[in-house]
Structure 1
Amino acid sequence: MPDYNQLIDAETWAFIRDTERYYPADATERSVAEQRAVYDRMCRAFHNGYPPGVTAEDAAFGGVPCRRYDGPEAVATVVYYHGGGFVVGGLDSHDDICAEICATTGCRVVAVDYRLAPEHRHPAAYDDAIAATRAVAAAFPGPLVLAGDSAGGNLAAAVAQATKAELPLAGQVLVYPGLGGDPDRGSYLSHAEAPMLTRAEVLYYGQIRRAEGVAEDDETAAPLWAASFAGLPPTVAFSAECDPLADDARAYCALVEAEGGRAHWVLEKGLVHGYLRGRSTVSRIRDSFTRITAAIAALARGDWPYGEETP
């Protein structure tokens, strides 16, 4: 097993302990209502407020509740899908993250409040993500970047696959995404007991999301199982090193490149799943968030700053 006391620095451990004060390790053993309550309390505790000049307004796109963040003279739009295992989270959970993306990139950001499991199992969240994204593209012509963390990274990749020939996708940015990798190999085993997310929790969220009859290799739920990765927009994917999902982003980027696409994989050393909330207190996370927003901004401009290297 990895020595997390060596891999994870003191600042990051402090962030982990702060997170556990609000969202304890046994959270998935509680009722869904309790999980949502403690997750919401955690998100409020870590909320950083809005940067100057950013405004937000709730509105529906494609019949799906969304929140639109605007700064001055936005020329591109980011559609953001929040994390939370398809079970927790919403417009408030990633509110300040979306506001900071707006301020840092100069892009308009539209956050999607997709339906959650178990009340609404797959493909409900996917259907909402597709509907909202199509409506956003119609409302704001111009470059479109899809972005999301964890479950939201899954949705971003699934939407990109479904709309790659239809919408003006400038790129996608996936942050510690769960993309349907093999849970019996690689990082799923080597980081099965990682802080912040365990393999058992990954399996729990996967089970609670799926409706009866949904196949494990359904590409709308597991983008790594797509029949083809050709034609996808430029992709930048970030893995936390200490995360059972770490291999998913790496494998996805390799598959995109193998079919002639542009993809760049970033392994964030010593970081853990769900690290975005620590961006104001942890140097490693602040640096990663800078890389994430730089990737979004570059794709929105039509730039590819990574050369042609293989991930």
Structure 2
Amino acid sequence: MTTQTLAVRIESALARGTLKLPAALLRILAGRPVIRDGQTLDVQTQMLLRLQKLRGDAALGGRTVARERALIDAQSRLLEPGAAQTLATDDIQVAGGDTPCAARIYRPAQIEPKAGALVFYHGGGFVIGSLDSHDGVCRALAERANCVVIAVDYRLAPEHPAPAGVDDAVAAFRDIAARADELDIDPTRLAVGGDSAGGNLSAVVSQITRGDTHSPCFQLLFYPAIDFVRDRASVRMFAEGFLLEKSSMDWFSGHYIPDGFDNGDPRVSPIYGDLEGVAPAIVITGGFDPLRDEGEDYAKALQAAGVNTTVSRHPSMIHGFVNFAGGVAGADAALTEGAHALRTALQH
């Protein structure tokens, strides 16, 4: 075990231990309740934000790209969820827009042959995040949904601005569907899902591939980024202090969308796309997330287009909660809700 790995384990144990303190003591340490828009911030999350502020990394974005990428990989290990059972994992390659993409398969031990599967796209503003940053999330989803999860490591900006990530996401989905026999999955029970930027890519893939022989059967969208044209009230309401800030959003979009590219192009802002006939969806949002309103607006747009869509707001949660579901009870409940919805969808 390296010194760095040991340090991460110690820090993770301390963080998890702190968040398990009795609620009354945690409230004293976290400070007075934070109430916005009739919602009260989860006390464990409030404590987590306080700890991050002490570390000097309470907000996403703003540093060098390399530093931000290292931070999300390190921070995700502190409170990441996981699986109680051993999962078989395999690192493979799938097709990408220009060159192959790395991918990772998670397979529960007792799963049936030709199982249903989730193609997962990680969050990170299209700039940060990796297979490793969401490894625990994928393990948790595979176990709780009892399905195969295939995580795709699409290209990131600014080295590869829009629509490179989209091209990879679409090509990867089509390749996985075409290789269903080889991967021992059922191409008729192939869902897409992800958080934040990954939710965006899932929505875009669902639109672009809806006419394919095998298109997504379900969309699992955790607090998706949906609209690069218009800021909604939640962006102003939660502009500072809740991990994803307005400045964070500007930093990510500035790296992702190149000069001259139309912010309203459905490949980056899927709320402006044709929604008729896309896969059923669940949209799970956090009450203290700047992206809350656009995610819920997308759910309403899907419903208006006749798409069977569930929208579920967890009012005490902030952006990025799937990555700390291993230490925050409310985040774990939201992740479980999504996994159970996926499990139900893949049984049909």
TM-score (norm 2): 0.81
Q: 1:194 to 1:299 in 2, by over 3 A?
A: farther
- The one of 80, 84, 95 equivalent to 2:120 is 80
User: Over aligned residues, Cα RMSD in angstroms?
Assistant: 2.0
- The one of 32, 38, 46 equivalent to 2:65 is 32
Any conservation in 2 of the 1:123–1:221 contact (CA below 8 Å)?
yes
**Distance in 2 (alpha carbons) for counterparts of 1:123 and 1:222:** 11
Structure 2 residue 242 is matched with structure 1 residue 195: yes
Secondary structure (helix, strand or coil) at the match of 2:287 reads: strand
Structure 2 gap segments, 5+ residues each: 1-33, 181-186
Secondary structure (helix, strand or coil) at the match of 1:87 reads: coil
Runs of 4+ in 1 over 6 A off after TM superposition: none
Q: For residues 76-119 of structure 1, what are the alpha-carbon distances to aligned partners after superposition, in whole Å with 9 as ceiling and x for unaligned?
A: 01000000111111110000110111111111100010111101
**Distance in 1 (alpha carbons) for counterparts of 2:330 and 2:81:** 18
CA drift of 1:47 comes to 4.0
Structure 1 stretch 174-183 or stretch 151-160: which is displaced more? 174-183
Structure 2 residue 201 is matched with structure 1 residue 169: no
Secondary structure (helix, strand or coil) at the match of 1:142 reads: strand
Q: How many positions carry a matched residue from both structures?
A: 300
Q: 1:236 to 1:47 in 2, by over 3 A?
A: closer
Q: 1:44 to 1:184 in 2, by over 3 A?
A: closer
CA drift of 1:193 comes to 2.0
Secondary structure (helix, strand or coil) at the match of 1:293 reads: helix
CA drift of 1:294 comes to 0.7
**Distance in 2 (alpha carbons) for counterparts of 1:133 and 1:23:** 38
Secondary structure (helix, strand or coil) at the match of 2:340 reads: helix
Q: For residues 4-30 of structure 1, what are the alpha-carbon distances to aligned partners after superposition, in whole Å with 9 as ceiling and x for unaligned?
A: 597113212123334456671365222
**Distance in 2 (alpha carbons) for counterparts of 1:216 and 1:47:** 33
Structure 2 residue 132 is matched with structure 1 residue 99: no
> 1:53 aligns to what?
86
> 2:35 aligns to what?
3
**Distance in 1 (alpha carbons) for counterparts of 2:81 and 2:338:** 18
Any conservation in 2 of the 1:181–1:224 contact (CA below 8 Å)?
no
> 1:298 aligns to what?
344
Q: 1:18 to 1:194 in 2, by over 3 A?
A: closer
- AA matched with 1:73: I
**Distance in 2 (alpha carbons) for counterparts of 1:295 and 1:221:** 26
> 1:249 aligns to what?
295
> 2:263 aligns to what?
216
- AA matched with 1:113: D
Structure with max Cα Rg: 2
CA drift of 1:181 comes to 5.5
- The one of 101, 105, 110 equivalent to 1:64 is 101
**Distance in 2 (alpha carbons) for counterparts of 1:56 and 1:201:** 33
CA drift of 1:142 comes to 3.1
- AA matched with 1:56: T
Q: 1:26 to 1:276 in 2, by over 3 A?
A: closer
Any conservation in 2 of the 1:11–1:282 contact (CA below 8 Å)?
yes
Any conservation in 1 of the 2:155–2:165 contact (CA below 8 Å)?
yes
Any conservation in 2 of the 1:19–1:42 contact (CA below 8 Å)?
no
CA drift of 1:49 comes to 5.1
Structure 1 stretch 93-102 or stretch 65-74: which is displaced more? 65-74
Any conservation in 1 of the 2:188–2:217 contact (CA below 8 Å)?
no
Secondary structure (helix, strand or coil) at the match of 2:258 reads: coil
**Distance in 2 (alpha carbons) for counterparts of 1:266 and 1:299:** 16
Q: 1:20 to 1:161 in 2, by over 3 A?
A: farther
Secondary structure (helix, strand or coil) at the match of 1:272 reads: coil
Q: What percent identity do the matched residue pairs reach?
A: 31
Secondary structure (helix, strand or coil) at the match of 2:322 reads: helix
> 2:26 aligns to what?
none
